[in-house]
Amino acid sequence: MARRAAAHEWEKLRELRLRALSDAPEAFASTLAESAARSADEWRERFLPRAGSVNVVEVDDDGSFVGIASGFADDESPEVVYLVGMFVVPERRGRGLGRRLVGAVESGFRPTGTSRSLPDRPEITVVELVKEL
């Protein structure tokens, strides 16, 4: 079951993020090298709970983190929420985990029909979603 990640789980979250960057480097705005160079304090800060943001994880029965999705509300327009990343470990793909993770972040959001490419990574398309509050 997908659940909100806790700040004290930052080491498992870091491992999963680094695995995601290694597995699918083209899917993320940061690189494996940049992320691997971050300090423990930077990783702790990254996963601190904040109003308007969420990190959702899927955890196996043995406690392994097998998927993550992240989203945050726009500071200027809190009704706009961005799904900024999603990853499922290769051996668990095809079982609906990605759909469950994204669903946990996007609950109630709908596409606006607006999309754009990332300026520094034109092969990545950003799709805008909105949620009525």
Confidence of residue 110 (pLDDT cuts 50, 70, 90): low
> How many angstroms separate the CA atoms of 102 and 81, rounded?
12
The pLDDT tens digits for 9-25 are 999 999 999 999 999 99
- Class of 2-130 per CATH? alpha beta
User: Whole-angstrom Cα distance, residue 131 to residue 82?
Assistant: 10
| pTM of the entire predicted model | 0.74
